[in-house]
Amino acid sequence: MTQSTDETIPIRVEQRTRRYDSERGCYVYDISFKTRVPLTERTLDVAEAFGLGIDGEREHVLFRDFELRLPQGGVVYITGDSGSGKSVLLRALGEDLGGEAVDLDGVAVDEGVSLIDSVAGSFGEAVGLLSRVGLNDAFLFLRKYEELSEGQRYRYRIARMIDSGKRFWLADEFCSTLDRTTAKVVAFNIQKLARRSGATLVVATTHTDLEADLCPSVLIRKGWGEDIEVEHWGHLEASRCTVTEDISIREGSREDYRRLSHLHYRDSGLPVPREIYAMDRSGELVGVIVYSYPPVRAAGRRNAVGYAPKIDELNRDWAIISRVIVHPKYRTIGLGSRIVRETLGMQGCDNVELIAVMARYNPFAERAGMRLVQVSEPHVSVLRVIESMRGLGFNPVLMGSSRYNSGLLDGLDEGQLEAVRLGLLGVGSAYFKRLSRSGRPYVRKGEFGEWLVVQDNGSLGRVLATLSVLGQCKAYLFWGRAAGLG
């Protein structure tokens, strides 16, 4: 039997040197590990059985005279097996870049704070930033970090990384916790954002399925020991996400809309549809668009075509896009624009309009070929009534929720309820019709011509939610089949 010793603690020392080679214009890395095997009864048995010498230190080289160039506005993709040295290289790079770099896993997150309050800039800038990373949903704006899915958290950290203003973005174990569809969407999105921001993105991961979506400027395949392969590609961003290759569009149904309606912030009701189209990926429903009959009046319509169409023409030749929904997992890869662009010519009307709040911050409809005609401010009478509701205890920001409104109404006495009902009569006549349609039975005409409000709290809550919608700034977009109108 062999003799054991008291050397039972292994020594693992990382040796790293880095120098900048001015002639080659790059950093040169030498990275190795030195280890000492603990001398125990069993390790000595292994040495005896296999004829190994285990006394003294052993050197394990990972990188020797390795050149690394970081192209500005480019992407470096490091891949290879676990334990091959990817993370070691990324950590060394982070130490060398210092304050110029931001680590995706190390970005600060504000827990307990809504997303819209946790990013810098004005409201419009905050909405724009969150939209760029695929968190372009009214519900998501109000959620907290801890309420997000893993994929949404990843997107949020990308937003914070952009917000940092750093020149280098580092990400170890890139997308390793995400399903592969979400990983490809995130990879495509982050390379696009990095290149358009002029930042250099460096990612390391064992996954090899992200090449097409990252479209790296430098691809590093790290093997065991000193084994390494480097390829230099161009600096152009990926033109499209590989996920979109399996997308198809077909005629849809109300059932298709119903399945995705909970993802839209206005899912309570659907205007009478003219046409519905659905977007699928290998049998999975990923998007839906609804074309409906247009309203009698719309701010921006006259500016779009130069006249006010009559009702019979509106019913015959016009449609309005009333809903565009893309599943959150598939956002920011152009599917919103695609479903608009490909269905504009499929539906049977010559003129299509879109009136939306989100179109002010996300130009998906313009990318699809629609023309932004104008952005309309709310009517002064609507704003005045909203302010009067504030005086009765309503928070205008929260009035978009019928449930919030009804709960507040239940706590008011009859005099206060009467003040709410009468206050709503202060909007202009066209807007009053919108309110009355949202909460029937709403009004009846009295003996002397005055309007009398007849309303239960549930219906009145819906009326107040409609008032909130009327108080939004909206973009009006137009597409015409005739040449030159779109």
Q: Is the pLDDT of residue 454 over 80?
A: no
Q: Is the pLDDT of residue 185 over 50?
A: yes
Distance CA 29, CA 70 (A): 13
3-state secondary structure (DSSP) of residue 316? helix
Q: Is the pLDDT of residue 463 over 80?
A: yes
Calculate mean pLDDT across residues 164-184. 92
Q: At the fourth CATH level, which superfamily is domain 71-232?
A: P-loop containing nucleotide triphosphate hydrolases (3.40.50.300)
Question: Would you state the pLDDT for residue 106?
Answer: 86
- One fold for both 71-232 and 244-371+475-480? no
Pairwise pLDDT comparison (105 vs 39), residue with the higher score: 105
Question: Would you state the pLDDT for residue 360?
Answer: 73
Distance CA 94, CA 98 (A): 6
Distance CA 14, CA 440 (A): 75
Sheet strands (E) in 340-439: 351-356, 371-376
Calculate mean pLDDT across residues 232-256. 92
Pairwise pLDDT comparison (448 vs 122), residue with the higher score: 122
Q: What is the CB neighbour count within 10 angstroms for residue 18?
A: 16
> Which helix (DSSP H) or strand (DSSP E) does residue 277 occupy?
strand 273-281
Calculate mean pLDDT across residues 238-244. 94
Percent of the chain with pLDDT over 90: 43
Question: Would you state the pLDDT for residue 60?
Answer: 55
User: Does the global pTM surpass 0.85?
Assistant: no
DSSP symbol at 119: S
Question: Would you state the pLDDT for residue 29?
Answer: 53
3-state secondary structure (DSSP) of residue 205? strand
Tens-place pLDDT, residues 116-149: 888 878 887 888 888 888 887 777 888 899 999 8
Q: Is the bond into 295 cis (omega within 30 degrees of 0)? A: no
Calculate mean pLDDT across residues 165-178. 92
Mean pLDDT computed over every residue of the chain? 83
Calculate mean pLDDT across residues 416-430. 85
Beta-sheet pairing, 218-222 with 318-326: unpaired
**Domain map of the chain by residue range?**
1-68, 71-232, 244-371+475-480, 380-470
Instruction: Provide the CATH topology of domain 244-371+475-480.
Output: Aminopeptidase (3.40.630)
> Which helix (DSSP H) or strand (DSSP E) does residue 14 occupy?
strand 11-21
Question: Would you state the pLDDT for residue 448?
Answer: 45
Provide the pLDDT confidence category of residue 174 given band limits of 50, 70 and 90.
very high
Question: Mean pLDDT lowest for which of 24-28, 271-275, 391-395?
Answer: 24-28
3-state secondary structure (DSSP) of residue 94? helix
Q: Tokens 């202060």 — which residue?
A: 426
Question: Would you state the pLDDT for residue 8?
Answer: 29
Distance CA 94, CA 474 (A): 44
Q: Is 125 in contact with 116 (CB distance < 8 Å)?
A: no
Q: What angle do CA 197, 203, 207 make, to 5 degrees?
A: 135
| Closest among 104, 17, 19, 117 to 62, alpha carbons compared | 17
Q: Is the pLDDT of residue 13 over 70?
A: no
For the stretch 189-216, what's the b/e string if a residue is b when 16 or more beta carbons lie within 10 angstroms of its beta carbon? bbbbbbbebebbbbbbbebeebbbbbbb
Q: What angle do CA 178, 182, 184 make, to 5 degrees?
A: 105
Q: Is the pLDDT of residue 36 over 60?
A: no
